């Protein structure tokens, strides 16, 4: 494969794919000063190293990449190298437009065939783990080459095939992140990280699939692990976390019960009140009143 760069808006091959901002392959035979300036892109960038050794700064932190490694650059994160120097080697990359939510999460757009829950799970894995360097990850190269082939050959149904490959790329990246993050299968540590992630976004309607994805497990194994570790099902454990957060917030008189209910993921104040009384013996208003009386 010869080096190339396709840009949306300039390359006819990308006319049907507004979500592919850039696709390219760079072969660099000599050290080139001022050829790798710092960049900050709106899209999600995925680089796969084919040859050479590259020391890049991602969000101002140094990372060294060897053949087979992948650099994963989230939107709005800077990428640079020392003195803007591009060293000898080659790499292939793709830059994708994604939806950016107020939470900081990213989602694929309407072109994707991922279900809403699958897209949300991948989004959270990318956001929570924030792992910019993925080692020995040759699947990325294979998928990007498939996208390249489809774009240039334009055989029947190539639009669907390209979008399918991009979905597959996002799936493989999220699975690789969870495997690399939890490679030792140290469940207590993984469980601690999971709880931190849940507490950071209790308003989100977490599914078991999403929670399992964050620790790199299938739902069946994850459910079994959580039950053995806590004695609760994943959903009941999540409810316990929500109630413990509610207890903390109810001690503050400046937040309404309704706001607390919605902030920690209950559909309504009534739903919150019923669940809270079931687990604590008090309605939220009663708990708050008793607490304030005892201050």
Over range 201-230, report the average pLDDT: 86
Q: pLDDT (tens digit, 9 = 90+) per residue, 194-207?
A: 888 898 889 988 99
Q: pLDDT (tens digit, 9 = 90+) per residue, 5-35?
A: 999 999 999 999 999 999 999 998 887 777 8
Q: pLDDT (tens digit, 9 = 90+) per residue, 27-79?
A: 988 877 778 889 998 899 999 999 888 889 999 998 988 899 999 999 999 99
Give me the CATH topology for the region 189-293.
Arc Repressor Mutant, subunit A (1.10.10)
Secondary structure (H, E, C), 214-231: HCCCCHHHHHHHHHHHHC
The pLDDT value recorded for residue 138 is 92
Distance CA 268, CA 223 (A): 27
pTM of the full structure: 0.71
The pLDDT value recorded for residue 44 is 94
Helices 284-293 and 234-250 sit at what angle, rounded to 10 degrees? 40
Q: pLDDT (tens digit, 9 = 90+) per residue, 73-122?
A: 999 999 998 878 888 889 999 999 988 877 777 788 888 999 888 888 88
Q: pLDDT (tens digit, 9 = 90+) per residue, 115-155?
A: 888 888 888 888 776 789 998 899 999 999 999 999 999 99
User: pLDDT class for 183, splitting at 50, 70, 90?
Assistant: low
Please list, in sequence order, all residues whose beta carbon lies within 8 angstroms of the beta carbon of residue 40, skipping any fewer than 6 positions away. Answer: 76, 77, 78, 79
CATH class of the domain whose range is 4-179: mainly beta
Residue extents of the structural domains in the chain: 4-179, 189-293
The pLDDT value recorded for residue 95 is 96
At 58, give phi and psi (nearest 5°).
-110, 120
Query: Does 233 have pLDDT greater than 70?
Result: yes
At 50, give phi and psi (nearest 5°).
-95, -45
The token duo for 200 is 């950071």
Same fold, 4-179 and 189-293: no
DSSP at 92: E
């Amino acid at each position: 494969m010869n080096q190339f760069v396709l840009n949306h808006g300039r390359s006819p091959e990308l006319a049907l794919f507004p979500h592919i901002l850039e696709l390219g392959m760079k072969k660099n035979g000599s050290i080139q000063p001022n050829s790798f300036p710092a960049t900050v892109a709106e899209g999600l960038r995925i680089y796969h190293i084919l040859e050479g050794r590259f020391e890049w700064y991602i969000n101002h932190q140094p990372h060294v990449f060897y053949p087979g490694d992948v650099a994963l650059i989230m939107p709005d994160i800077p990428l640079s190298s020392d003195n803007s120097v591009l060293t000898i080697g080659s790499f292939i990359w793709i830059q994708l437009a994604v939806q950016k939510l107020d939470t900081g999460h990213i989602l694929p757009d309407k072109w994707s065939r991922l279900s809403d829950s699958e897209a949300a799970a991948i989004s959270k894995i990318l956001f929570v783990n924030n792992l910019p360097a993925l080692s020995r990850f040759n699947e990325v190269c294979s998928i990007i080459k498939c996208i390249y082939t489809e774009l240039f050959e334009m055989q029947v149904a190539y639009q669907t095939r390209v979008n399918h490959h991009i979905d597959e790329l996002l799936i493989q990246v999220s699975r690789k992140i969870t495997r690399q993050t939890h490679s030792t299968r140290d469940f207590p540590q993984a469980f601690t990280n999971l709880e931190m992630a849940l507490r950071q976004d209790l308003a989100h309607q977490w599914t078991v699939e999403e929670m399992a994805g964050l620790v790199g497990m299938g739902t069946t194994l994850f459910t079994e692990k959580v039950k053995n570790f806590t004695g609760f099902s994943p959903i009941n454990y999540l409810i316990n976390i929500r109630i413990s957060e509610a207890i903390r917030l109810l001690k503050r008189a400046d937040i309404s019960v309704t706001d607390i209910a919605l902030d920690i993921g209950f559909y309504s104040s009534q739903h919150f009140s019923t669940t809270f009384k079931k687990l604590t013996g008090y309605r939220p208003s009663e708990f708050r009143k008793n607490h304030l009386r005892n201050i």
